[in-house]
Amino acid sequence: MTVSFLVILLQSKDELSEYIDLVQSIYNPIYISLVVFLIILILIYISYKHIYNPLLKKHKKEQEQFETNTAKLLALFSELDPNPIIRIDTEGRIVNLNKTAQRIFNEIMINKSKIDSILDSIDFDIKDAIQSGKQFIISKKVRDRFYEINFHGISFLEMAQLYFWDTTLKMEYDEQMSNYQQLLKNTSASLQKTQEEERARISQELHDSVGQNLLLVKLNISNYKKFIPLGIDESEYQRTIEILNSTITKVREVAHNLKPPNLDELGLVILIKSMCRNVSKETGLKYLLHLPENTNGLSKDLQVCIYRIVQESLNNIIRYSKAKEFTVSLLEEPETATIFISDDGIGFKSRKLLNDKYVSDGLGIMNMQESVERLNGNFQIDSSLNQGTNIIATYPIKNKKDETKPEYKNISS
């Protein structure tokens, strides 16, 4: 037992001696790690002091110089600009104005007056807009002028530049153009109303005067039939009668086209059916109709307009479409009436002007659109090459109590 203890003690003493020798050695891993760590710290310090810090100072100096140059350029360009330019800080204080702005807003005091003394009801956070570098346009009336104001937030300068573009002349021009267009629309409405009245008058004249006179001529010539045995050429007589018959028929057709016959007595639906049936008989075109039983809920002006739209559309189908079939549909709803005319012909490429007016080689399409818009309706054409044509006109329906009121709008000069 004693011998074993001595052996263990001697072994522990040897290990302790080894540990003591290791601690005293310069190759101790701990010492090596500390030296490496110190070297790294020294390198970091040297890099920061002699490399990073000088670069940081240089960048900061360059940025300050850039901001200074930018501010100078802004000031230079703003002075040369003929439009008012105002610069404000994050608190909305006016810090600079160009010469134009000084002349227009001569009561403004630099670094004292705020932008809300010029622009009332500002509905955005000026400080946030500047710090975020936002850029947007607001439209304002300042005193007696209209401006579109370009707000440009410059975050690194802690300011914003407001560029005032005077749009007063443009606004006045747009207003005048709107008035002129309304006046033109009213004039067109008046002309079309006069045209319908003149058509009715000419139709009545053709029927009552010219038509009756032709009938009298025909009757008088018929009386000469008894003189044929005395030597009058019967073929000449028959040719004259045929010419008169053709002339009478033509006069009736002209009268029919000038004024929808018996619109009040027969009704719009029967007239559309008759028109489509005659077109099919003359051209061989097939057709489909989707019509209500009656159109008693539609005003007289509206029924005449629908009749003219169908009439002009069918004329275009006959002349240009090369179609084999067409469809006419009339949908009457509580507040609107829609006429829809389509064909399976060659179609065409519809063109629109900036004022949404359709244009074509003739005046038919433009007249249709004008007649629809005269009654506050909406006119559309859907057509493309070899894909047929769709014409759609939608009208608002007036209440029965409003039928006696004028259909045409007027504006005072």
For the stretch 221-273, pLDDT in tens is 666 666 656 555 667 667 777 777 777 777 666 666 666 556 777 888 998 99
pTM of the model: 0.45
**What CATH architecture does domain 262-413 belong to?**
2-Layer Sandwich (3.30)
pLDDT in tens, 217-226: 666 666 666 6
pLDDT in tens, 88-102: 999 999 988 888 888
Kindly state the helix (H) or strand (E) to which residue 24 belongs, with its residue range: helix 2-24
Residue 172: its pLDDT value, please?
79
CA-CA distances (angstroms) from residue 47 to 35, 187, 221?
18, 85, 125
**Under 8 Å between Cβ of 232 and 224:** yes
pLDDT at 342 exceeding the cut of 90 = yes
**What CATH architecture does domain 81-166 belong to?**
2-Layer Sandwich (3.30)
pLDDT at 52 exceeding the cut of 70 = yes
Helix, strand or coil for residue 385?
coil
Report the C-alpha gap between 96 and 122 in whole angstroms: 19
Report the C-alpha gap between 203 and 196 in whole angstroms: 10
**Which residue has tokens 């070899």?**
386
Question: What token pair was written down for 201?
Answer: 């008058």
Mean pLDDT, range 384-410, rounded to an integer: 69
**Which residue has tokens 């006179």?**
213
pLDDT in tens, 147-191: 999 998 888 788 898 989 888 888 878 777 777 777 666 666 666
pLDDT at 354 exceeding the cut of 60 = no
Closest C-alpha among 56, 98, 105, 59 to residue 76: 98
Report the C-alpha gap between 314 and 99 in whole angstroms: 66
First to last CA, the chain: 133
Closest C-alpha among 153, 125, 149, 152 to residue 139: 149
For CATH 3.30.565.10, the residue range(s) in the chain are: 262-413
Kindly state the helix (H) or strand (E) to which residue 379 belongs, with its residue range: strand 378-383
The answer for residues whose C-beta is within 8 angstroms of residue 290's C-beta and 6 or more apart is 327, 328, 329, 330, 331
Average pLDDT over all residues of the chain? 77
Helix, strand or coil for residue 135?
strand
**Under 8 Å between Cβ of 188 and 171:** no
Q: What angle do helix axes 168-205 and 364-374 make, rounded to 10 degrees?
A: 100
For CATH 3.30.450.20, the residue range(s) in the chain are: 81-166
Kindly state the helix (H) or strand (E) to which residue 153 belongs, with its residue range: strand 145-154
Helix, strand or coil for residue 231?
coil
Closest C-alpha among 115, 133, 132, 113 to residue 123: 115
If you compute the radius of gyration of the chain from its CA atoms, what whole number of angstroms results?
Answer: 46
Say if residue 288 is exposed, middle or buried (CB neighbours under 10 Å; 0-12, 13-18, 19+): exposed
What percent of the chain stands above pLDDT 90? 17
Closest C-alpha among 335, 279, 333, 286 to residue 310: 279
Residue 403: its pLDDT value, please?
47
Report the C-alpha gap between 403 and 397 in whole angstroms: 10
Report the DSSP pairing between strands 378-383 and 85-89: unpaired
Report the C-alpha gap between 222 and 242 in whole angstroms: 11
**Under 8 Å between Cβ of 312 and 358:** no
Using pLDDT thresholds of 50, 70 and 90, give the confidence band for residue 412.
very low
